[in-house]
Chains A and B, each alone.
Chain A
Amino acid sequence: MINIFNYIERNSPIHKLTGATKLIVMLLWSLGAMVTYDTRILAIMPIISFFLFAISKIRLKDVSFMIGFTLIFMLLNNILIFLFSPTHGVSIYGSSHEVFSILGPYVITWEQLFYHLNLVLKYLSTIPIVLLFICTTHPSEFAASLNKIGVPYSIAYAVSLSLRYIPDIQREYHDIAQAQQARGLEMSKKAPFFKRLKNGAAILMPLIMLSIDKIEVISNAMELRSFGQNKKRTWYTEGRFTKWDIVAITLGLALVVASFVMNYVNGGRFWNPFIR
């Protein structure tokens, strides 16, 4: 199976945590990183997450492809924000210390630079932990984990089903697209834009019809094997809770609490070093 979610099998303490624990920590962590712009907290989070990465035995080269994507996304977003709102930092921090001026409204201020620093730190706080979750949690554990944290099992199973059928649909799409190309359907730049979209629909048509048929057969197969019989279900891949799970969840909770506390202390989401 092509490993789209980049699970990497290693023998590490992080791998041994249950999927549910890792999901909870990832969600708490993301929440914590989202609510605050306190630079001190945002600076600590990447440090902890790099430390966790080291424990997990996931190496940089294992995730270089995904990090590449992310860096480009981060850079683009920063450039866009600067282009659209070069004084966003000034309005947030309520003061303006000019570094130098480029052209017209494009003046670089310490406030704007500091805002961008916060933005970058925010990425560095959230992304490693998501990567860590993906790399250390087998897709098989996703559904069980979602159910464990309170998502109804039917919806959790829908997630499992999509993970199951993504490779099949991908292969089917590939085969169909090739056969249609042989009949002259182009989706590349050789065809005019609207023609491309129309051809896209022609390639999609068989894929969707086959998938609709599949829905019928799969739901029959599931009912023939008692899916939906009870209000609960057990999960083969549900791991066993250990004291390390409790430690991990406590860490996640501590971060969220710290974020909220700092927001309260700062009297807002931003920590403002420009007021003395």
Chain B
Amino acid sequence: MSQGILQFVNFSFKYNAQAEPTLKNINLNINKGEKILIAGPSGSGKSTLSNCVNGLIPFSYKGESKGQILLDGKPTDKLSIFEISKYVGTVLQDTDSQFIGLTVAEDIAFSLENQCVEEPELHNRVKEVAELVNIGTHLKSAPSELSGGQKQRVTLGGVLVDNVDILLFDEPLANLDPETGKKAIELIDKIHKKLGLTIIIIEHRLEDVLWRSVDRIVLMNDGEIIRDEEPDKLLAKNILSERGIREPLYITALKYAGVDLNEVRDVASVENIQLSEDAKAKVRTWFNLDVKKDKPVYEETLLEAVDLDFTYESSRREDVGHHALDKINLKVKKGELLAIVGKNGAGKSTFSKVVCGFENHQRGQIFFKGEDISSLSIKERAESIGYIMQNPNQMISQTMIFDEVALGLRNLKLSEEEIKERVNETLKICGLWAFRSWPISALSFGQKKRVTIASILVMEPELIILDEPTAGQDYKHYTDIMNFLKGLIKKDITIVIITHDMHLMLEYADRAVVFADSKVIADDKPSKILTDEDIIKKASLKETSLYDLSLKCGIQEGSAFVDHFIDYERRILEND
């Protein structure tokens, strides 16, 4: 093997604050021009690995390291963070924090300004890079005027401006809607081909990254590299799902159907996969297995929006005058799990804010159990409708778990005794009883999420609305959260989830409502929606690869095929 542009040689790293090393004996060789995907569950060390590449370790985060990292043959411990940043450009997950300029142009120029690049080179270079990342028409825009995808392109421009050799993406898909994520992967691919850069993508959403081919997948677990292989070979094995990484759905379906993927060429792309007639027949046979379950029918309407119309008026927001809800008609049935999907800014979040009374609609009505709640205050509505924000850190204001959950009850001036009883009961339901005397800061992200759900559940609402409950979570944590929510349904709580996650909607939602341009454009079973090309296009959703697979195998009923997959999977999970 030739000497790569980036090499890890017997490298280990331990943070000062931790007892155990986070990276253990890493050996990795990345050649110039390669495109690598680093995957692994949360806490597997992939972010630490990326911080070692871009120099944040050891310059910002202190710890002990053993072994060596060679960048273009030079040991990185002999380089300054500024020298490293000439080689490695990093696009962080949180684009709002990386976008530090007041306008697009200033942000792209930032690194050049710091290196004292003078006019006219400064303006020319910014213009050139802005064109490369398709943001050239927005040079004077402020970050708040841009979408998530546009902001990400600016941050990419801000590192490309330096003529780096290696581009490092830390979970680039985490905050994007499906269509935007697809575009981001396409842009990364375009830059890879055009500039011949080395690309390292850290991401656990495998299927979405594989929308464009990668050369290798490096699988990490518990601080070690456990696989370093071509995607075709890796996907044919079962190692991904064993390690808590979600494999592409069509791969799982092929495995369920008993197709031996080691025999199949181009496994990593649903577009190009070479299925033999025999394999297709196996899929069709599997499709004909009877696994159908009786789906519960939900009759009673819990919440109903009638001709709901809302335009932002408050001068506090930048979106004054934005007609965010256009005659929305929508019913939530008691006991169901409803997904609301659509691209950012389509009106999903506004809808939930109007329902909770955070914003007041101008026309139309909202009924809860048949009663018009339009005139009720935030607090009054909160007694029956709970709202849970995306990031638990946005909601937590107390230091102890008990106090956080008790907060709402204390504001109702209940007796301490009753509060104690209700809080304890809720903590048990949420699986937090064992931690009841812990400070919240000692909890993991997923546990904090549960605390915020508990703090709402304790108020005994009948409906809870969750904004992106699984964003940024790996497959294991995602499954934990969703199973917990499923459990709540059994306790007679109705759940509405706002999400970008197509898997979530397919696997867990009874029904999905699609928002596009402030209107509801579809209201149907998720399997129907994700096999309808027209709706997918209008709402910037992403078709499921199961649908592509069904077409390849000559199955006409795409939506039925998707339903079959979900039913089959539920049966397997239930038998576990």
Contact = CB atoms under 8 A, between A and B. Distances in A.
B379 interface: yes
B377 to A, nearest CB: 9
B113 A236 contact: yes
Contacts of A206: 393-397
A89 interface: no
A184 B382 contact: yes
Contact of B85 (A171, A175, A226, A235): A226
A222 B114 CA distance: 10
Given A160-B102, A182-B356, A170 B316 contact: yes
Interface string B78-98: 000110010001101010111
Interface stretch (B53-61, B171-179, B488-496, B527-535): B53-61
Contacts of B103: 140
B411 A183 contact: yes
B106 A237 contact: yes
A217 B412 contact: no
Interface in A54-71: none
Residue among B92, B112, B411 facing the most chain A CB atoms (10 A cut-off)? B411
Dominant secondary structure at the A interface: helix
Given A221-B97, A232-B116, A140 B106 contact: yes
Nearest to A228: B114
B116 A234 contact: yes
A233 interface: yes
Interface in A193-222: 202-203, 205-206, 209-210, 213-214, 217-222
Contact of A221 (B92, B162, B411): B92
A184 B114 contact: no
Residue among B55, B81, B396 facing the most chain A CB atoms (10 A cut-off)? B81
Given A167-B318, A234-B117, A223 B382 contact: no
A224 B85 contact: yes
Interface residues of B, number: 72
A237 B455 CA distance: 48
B546 interface: no
A183 B459 contact: yes
Interface residues of A, number: 53
Contact of A233 (B54, B114, B143): B114
Given A180-B397, A221-B92, A226 B100 contact: no
A202 B111 contact: no
A181 interface: yes
A227 B114 contact: yes
B569 to A, nearest CB: 34
A202 B399 CA distance: 10
Contacts of A160: 102
A174 B112 CA distance: 35
A183 B452 CA distance: 11
A230 interface: yes
6 contacts: A2-B316, A140-B103, A205-B396, A221-B100, A226-B111, A235-B113
Interface of A: 1-2, 139-140, 160-161, 163-164, 167-168, 170-172, 174-176, 178-186, 202-203, 205-206, 209-210, 213-214, 217-230, 232-237
Interface of B: 54-56, 59-60, 81-82, 85, 89-90, 92, 94, 96-98, 100-103, 105-106, 109-119, 122-123, 126, 142-145, 158-159, 162, 315-318, 320, 353, 356-358, 378-379, 381-382, 386-387, 389, 391, 393-398, 407-408, 411-412, 455-456, 459
Closest 4 CB pairs of A and B: A184-B411, A236-B109, A182-B382, A217-B97
